[in-house]
Structure 1
Amino acid sequence: MLGQQAHPILERRIPATFITPRKRIEDGNDLAFFHASIAYRDIKIFLLQLNRAIFPRLGEDGKTEVCDLQQRAELSSTGTGVAAIIQSLSDFVDDVPPETGPRRFGNVAFRTWYKLAVSEIDDLFDEHLGSVLDRIATNDDQRRTGVREELKVYLLGGFGSAQRMDYGTGHELSFLVFLGCLWKLSAFQAGEERTIVTGLVQPYLVLMRKLILTYTLEPAGTHGVWGLDDHSFLPYIFGSAQLGPAITSADAPTPLTGSLAGVPKPDSVASKGTVLQYKDNNMYFAAIQFIYDVKTGPFWEHSPTLFNISGIKDGWAKINKGMIKMYDAEVLGKFPVVQHFPFGSLFPWEKDPDAQQNMQQSMHAQQQPTAQTPGMLSGNVQTARPQVGTAAPWAKPSGAPSAVPSTGVPSTRAPWAAR
């Protein structure tokens, strides 16, 4: 499980040889190996490293420094370059309008956009990250090509599947690892984690929402109504951290309960007015606003898991802790999500020497969903509040109603729900 008691920093290292990442996870046994790999360990470390940086912190002057999307620190040269690449890819969307005519799934113009991105990515890297590549390659053209190819796989993998015309948390993971690669290569400055999230992850999410809306991308590996979100997970982790209590010192543990004074309560996500008020400042509320943009009906009906989570009484830090655990189980722990994840030299397919040895049973078998049939709603489902159902795996709100789908479709429950 991802834990929050310690806060290690992802090790910086430049490999002797770069490897173009490729798919390794073919079955449940491979998934078990992944969970004992250096790549898995380093993904967890980097996620927690960024997550901790987003919490408010007590400054030397005794004032609390909050993390606000509207008050970003200045990006480093690498960060500026990545942001420029994201902006260029967003501009490409304007150049490739969706095709008209009937269609059942995503708009085929997405494939045109993706092909354009692939054709331009080398030039974008050279223009915006050229100095970074030169420093890493140390005047060796072969190494320069190698590092660029490795980075390209993760960046392009972050924009969905052109073949399936879908997007989901596995693609989001690829972008996270792209940033982790740059961190390992010492392309980012020490202490830049907060700006990485607000200045790069958030613009990336904005781009992905633009792609989803423009080309009607299908959700990849969705759990249906019982999933956290059709497409994303990271904004709920980082957004809940933004609203947690302040970290008081560099050695202090990451908060596990409580909220920053004056922030909206978790249950305010069911209020469209409150969400609209905070969407430009907070990643969690920005993600909720996108749901309101694309879905209709009561919040508890179309987003029951998020509704259940909104009933947590122990504050945003408790939600953040649960989101971290849920990410471990529902993203890193699920074969359909990580089966396409590629491994290279920076996030290698190598055994972590410190990994636990008790992985004899396939994690794939352990992670199969268990069908449960929730109760049915009666009466006017447009106004009635839900009374029974399946709570979020880690959410135990005090007195908060649980949501159920009005259709009565069986839900899925994570295997760690009873722990």
Structure 2
Amino acid sequence: NAESRSTPEDEAAEVTFMEPQKEIRMVPDMGKWKRSQAYADYMGFVLTLNEALKGKKLGCEYKVSETVEKLLDLLETLDRWINETPPVDQPSRFGNKAYRTWYGKLDQEAEALVSAVIPADKCAAAAEIATYLKESVGNPTRIDYGTGHEAAFAAFLCCLCKVGALKGDDRLAIVFKVFNRYLTVMRKLQRTYRMEPAGSQGVWGLDDFQFLPFIWGSSQFVDHPTLEPRHFIDERVVNEHHHDYMFLDCIKFINEMKTGPFAEHSNQLWNISAVPSWSKVNQGLVRMYKAECLEKFPVIQHFKFGSLLSIQPVTP
């Protein structure tokens, strides 16, 4: 009978999906996170993509799979809901309460949106994966957005890889198509609803809202024949090349949102522009990401763990 011939695939198929939960409740719990399978999988995912993007422009040729198309449709839906949910008149300039209405739609629809993206035989994973999607767009209580929300979106994509919806040859499209579209939706949310930066370090942080596009964006520049780190503070270079490079697109957004000298409002980036090579910038940003985001309790206390991104320690 078939039951006696169980294969590793069958066992993987019998994973019990679960509602992801917070596990890092106090600062001493941070050790559990750094030793966890989730941390290893998450960092491995970020670095695999980092490697795949080396020296590649946004406009280069790459495969766009059906799953990627479906993810773009999902993000298009979130974008359309912003248009359908204009900001309301309110006394305070920041944190427009219409964001909560927008978020309410996602909260209701997230599981259905995810079900449309994943293979039919993995539909049991939809609720677990949808949790990361809901965590990736900001916080409806505080109407803020920060690197912890961005990490939830990377975790969402990592989970889609784990259930086989996204494959190895989707790497470029994951960043250049899906993550890039996610960024445009997040910028629109930040602008439309005047969202506060979550856990912002002010001028000492890299950026009020994002981190990953700086890592992946610096990888795109590795071994570039002419553009060096010192060039990204030159507005002409930014305007000319931002369509090809995520890093410059982030700088362009900062320039649009902030006034005054770049060295004052974005001191960390100003310092990075003095680093001699893009590969040094890339390595430095990976180190900084671990230290400033992934090893900071205020960020990681909100991270949720389930069957796909597990709090269990890495098996040696």
- TM-score, normalization by structure 2: 0.93
Shift of 1:273: 1.7
Cα displacement (A) at 1:77: 1.3
Other-structure match for 1:256: none
2:105 paired with 1:116: yes
* Residue from 211, 225, 239 that aligns with 1:261: 225
The whole-number CA distance in structure 2 between the counterparts of 1:242 and 1:82 is 23
Residues 1:320 and 2:276 aligned together: no
AA in 2 matched with 1:105: F
- SS for the counterpart of 1:290 is helix
CA distance in 1, matches of 2:13, 2:254: 40
Q: Where do 1:32-47 residues align within 5 Å? A: 32-47=31-46
Distance 1:320 1:15, change over 3 A: farther
Deviation at 1:349, TM superposition (A): 1.1
Query: Which of 120, 135, 141 is the matching residue for 2:121?
Result: 135
1:176 alignment partner, one of 154, 158, 178: 154
Partner Cα separation in structure 2 for residue 42 and residue 123 of structure 1: 26
Shift of 1:102: 1.9
Distance 1:326 1:308 in 2: 13
Structure 1 pair 32–15 and aligned structure 2 pair: CA distance change class (3 A): farther
Work out the CA distance in 2 between the residues paired with 1:14 and 1:158: 26
Residue in structure 1 matched with residue 238 of structure 2 by the alignment: 275
Matches of 2:222 and 2:98 in 1, distance apart?
41
Contact 2:129 2:156 in 1 (8 A): yes
**Contact preservation (8 Å) 2:110, 2:133:** no
Distance in 2, matches of 1:224 and 1:305, equals 10
State the structure with bigger RCO (CA 8 A, min sep 6), 1 or 2.
2
2:2 maps to 1:16: no
Mapped partners of 2:310, 2:14: distance in 1: 11
Q: Residue type of the partner of 1:348?
A: S
Q: Does 1:311 align with 2:286?
A: no
Instruction: Give the whole-Å Cα distance in 1 for the aligned partners of 2:282 and 2:184.
Output: 21
Aligned equivalent of 1:61 = none
Aligned-partner Cα distance in 1 for 2:304–2:108: 21
Structure number having the greater helix percentage: 2
Identity %: 39
Mapped contact 2:114–2:129 kept (Cα < 8 A): no
Asked if the contact 1:72–1:199 (Cα under 8 Å) also holds between the matched residues in 2, the reply is no
1:325-360 Cα shifts (integer Å, max 9, x gaps): 111111110001111000000001101133xxxxxx
Q: Could you tell me which residue of structure 2 aligns to residue 416 of structure 1?
A: none
- Kept in 1, the 8 Å contact 2:63–2:170? The answer is no
Alignment counterpart, residue 216 of structure 1, candidates 190, 194, 197 = 194
The aligned runs of 1:326-341 (5 Å cut-off) are: 326-341=288-303
- 1:87 pairs, out of 76, 99, 107, with 76
In structure 1, distance between residues paired with 2:97 and 2:59: 35
Q: Per the alignment, in what secondary structure is the counterpart of residue 161 of structure 1?
A: coil
| Cα deviation digits, residues 30-71 of structure 1 (max 9, x gap) | 111111111111111111101000002xxxxxxxxxx22233
Q: For the residues of structure 2 that align with 1:28 and 1:122, how far apart are their CA atoms? A: 32
Equivalent residues in 2 for 1:91-110 (5 A)? 91-110=80-99
Aligned pairs for 1:348-387 within 5 A: 348-354=310-316
Aligned length: 305
Tell me how far apart the structure 1 counterparts of residues 33 and 85 of structure 2 sit (CA, whole Å): 38
Shift of 1:15: 5.6
Contact (CA 8 Å) 2:93, 2:194: kept in 1 or not? Answer: no
What is the one-letter code of the residue matched to 2:187? R
**Contact 1:15–1:346, Cα closer than 8 Å, also in 2:** no
| Contact 2:214–2:246 (Cα < 8 Å) also in 1 | yes
How far the C-alpha of 1:124 sits from its partner, in A, is: 2.5
Aligned counterpart, 1:300: 263
- Structure 1 residues 4-53: Cα deviation after superposition (integer angstroms, max 9, x where no partner): xxxxxxxxx65610011011111112111111111111111111101000
Q: Which moved more, 1:98-107 or 1:27-36?
A: 98-107
Please give the secondary structure, in 1, of the residue aligned with 2:166. coil
Q: Is contact 1:133-1:148 (8 Å) kept?
A: no
Distance 1:86 1:174 in 2: 15
Match status 1:233 vs 2:222: no
CA RMSD, 1 decimal: 1.4
For 2:164 and 2:103, how far apart are their aligned partners in 1?
29
Secondary structure of the structure 1 residue equivalent to 2:200: coil
- Provide, for residues 55-110 of structure 1, a one-character-per-residue CA deviation record: whole Å limited to 9, x for no partner: 02xxxxxxxxxx22233524211111111101110111000011123215311110
Check if 1:242 corresponds to 2:200.
no
Question: In terms of Rg, which structure is larger?
Answer: 1
Matched residue, 1:192: 170
1:347 pairs, out of 300, 303, 309, with 309
What residue in structure 2 maps to residue 365 of structure 1?
A: none
What is aligned with 1:154? 132
Answer whether contact 1:109 1:215 (CA < 8 A) is retained: yes
